[in-house]
Structure 1
Amino acid sequence: MTEFAAMTLVDSGELPEYPLGSEDRLDSHYFMVWERRRWLNSDMRLKATAECRAYYFDLINISYDQSPIGTLPLDMELLAKLLFVDAAHFRSLCRLDFGPLHKWSQCIVEGGEVRLMHPMVLRTLTEAISRKEDNRARNEAANAKKRIQRLRSVIAGYHAELAKNDAAIRFMYQWLQEQGCEYRTSQWVERAMAAWSDHMLALNMKNRRTMS
């Protein structure tokens, strides 16, 4: 018999904290990773009824659109509505050893709310979000490289030697970023060059004071 037979609310102080928050999303993902072989050999598939397996799979899909992602509400009646099933019947299924909420357990999420989590769902989501962040970092790095190259080409039109100075180009690129410059007009480029000149002048003066 599962812990959902009585669905007793556990003291929130004893519950694990769910590591994902409302800001962790996979809105652009219209699919989820499903470990086929693991599922085919799992106790849930081998021992649960066809009805319980169907609701179990549905709840996993539903959890991907919840907040925080990967969790479910604790309200059994609401879960039954989400599954389009009679609440009393759903409760009876959850009393089975391999019911629709097999291995779902209570956790505490941001704001102190108690919800349900599943270790497999959490692991899959954590890996997906990690890949998403890695892809974002790679894309940002690639885009920054292209913007720096474009800036170098523009600077070359003003000062060919300055365009060969990697430190100068990176300084001006960073300066433009800090100014919130989205469109690099000739005025902004000239201001960036002036900022680099001021930076070098201040640096030289500092070095002279140190040496004197």
Structure 2
Amino acid sequence: MAALPNLTVVGGESGLPLYPIPTGLKLERHFFMQFRHRDWMKSEFRNLASREVRAVAIDLFCVAYDEDPAGTLPANEELIARLVDVPLDDWRGLCSRSIGPLDGWQKCRTDTGALRLFHPAVLEMVTEASKARRDHIERKAADRERKRLEALPDQMRRAGASSRMAEDTDLIVRLDEYLLEHFPPPTQRRPQIVRQALEEMDTAGRSAGL
């Protein structure tokens, strides 16, 4: 089981915990949840709750996954009932049972101060998914960087740079950074653009006495 982020207590209503997933982080592109079905099958909740409550509880998990912040629910019974498509009177009836669909859910504050509900099991799933999302973004960024650096020597030669310049690893890295800053995508690295960047870098270097 993955370690959960620290839920620090913030001021306000009964010292509520601060939800660790930031507002704005949504997982709508994740088409599956890393649901620990064995934990669910063995859980006290699953073995004691009615079938109707269990069904709605699973829907709550799924709904919360796509909420903002990811893994939370609004702290409003009408909104929650609408999210799981249950009439409000039926929802209240389910919640009045000895084990209701919101068992295990707790109040928290988000980074914007909003009052929301979270469930430790859902938080664990969201934490793992957000880490996988972050790793994926980092891998894609690293792959883009590798491809840019591999293509740059040939682009420099076509721009009129010498073979020595095109083999200078330090220059290639500095030129890549300069192009990203001054000629960012979607600007294509055509010969005239690369030539202009090299000339501007050379002029700036001379002015700085480098």
TM-score (norm 1): 0.83
Q: C-alpha distance in 2, partners of 1:192/1:86?
A: 63
Deviation string, structure 1 residues 67-91 (Cα, Å, up to 9, x no partner)? 2221111211222233333323322
For 1:188, the equivalent position in structure 2 comes to 193
Could you tell me which of 178, 181, 184 is aligned with 1:178?
181
Q: C-alpha distance in 2, partners of 1:12/1:52?
A: 28
For 1:41, the equivalent position in structure 2 comes to 42
Runs of 4+ in 1 over 4 A off after TM superposition: none
Check conservation: 2:156, 2:191, Cα contact below 8 A. Answer: no
Q: C-alpha distance in 2, partners of 1:102/1:174?
A: 52
Shift in CA distance, 27/78, structure 1 to aligned 2, threshold 3 Å: closer
Shift in CA distance, 185/136, structure 1 to aligned 2, threshold 3 Å: same
Check conservation: 2:26, 2:67, Cα contact below 8 A. Answer: no
TM-score (norm 2): 0.84
Is 1:164 the counterpart of 2:167? The answer is yes
For 1:80, the equivalent position in structure 2 comes to 81
Give me the identity figure in percent.
32
Check conservation: 1:12, 1:108, Cα contact below 8 A. Answer: no
Check conservation: 1:156, 1:163, Cα contact below 8 A. Answer: yes
1:200 offset after TM fit, Å? 4.9
Q: C-alpha distance in 2, partners of 1:191/1:81?
A: 58
Amino acid at match of 1:105: Q
Question: Unaligned 5+ residue runs, structure 2?
Answer: 1-11
Amino acid at match of 1:195: E
Of stretches 161-170 and 22-31 in structure 1, the one that deviates more from structure 2 is 22-31
Superposed CA RMSD in Å reads: 2.1
Of stretches 114-123 and 72-81 in structure 1, the one that deviates more from structure 2 is 72-81
Q: C-alpha distance in 2, partners of 1:94/1:75?
A: 13
Aligned residue pairs: how many?
A: 196
Greater C-alpha Rg: 1
Alignment of 1:72-111 (within 5 A): 72-111=73-112
Deviation string, structure 1 residues 178-212 (Cα, Å, up to 9, x no partner)? 10342112221112222343455456x46xxxxxx
For 2:148, the equivalent position in structure 1 comes to 147
For 1:58, the equivalent position in structure 2 comes to 59
Question: Unaligned 5+ residue runs, structure 1?
Answer: 1-10, 207-212
SS of the residue corresponding to residue 148 of structure 2 reads: helix
SS of the residue corresponding to residue 12 of structure 1 reads: coil
Check conservation: 2:155, 2:190, Cα contact below 8 A. Answer: no
Of stretches 58-67 and 162-171 in structure 1, the one that deviates more from structure 2 is 58-67
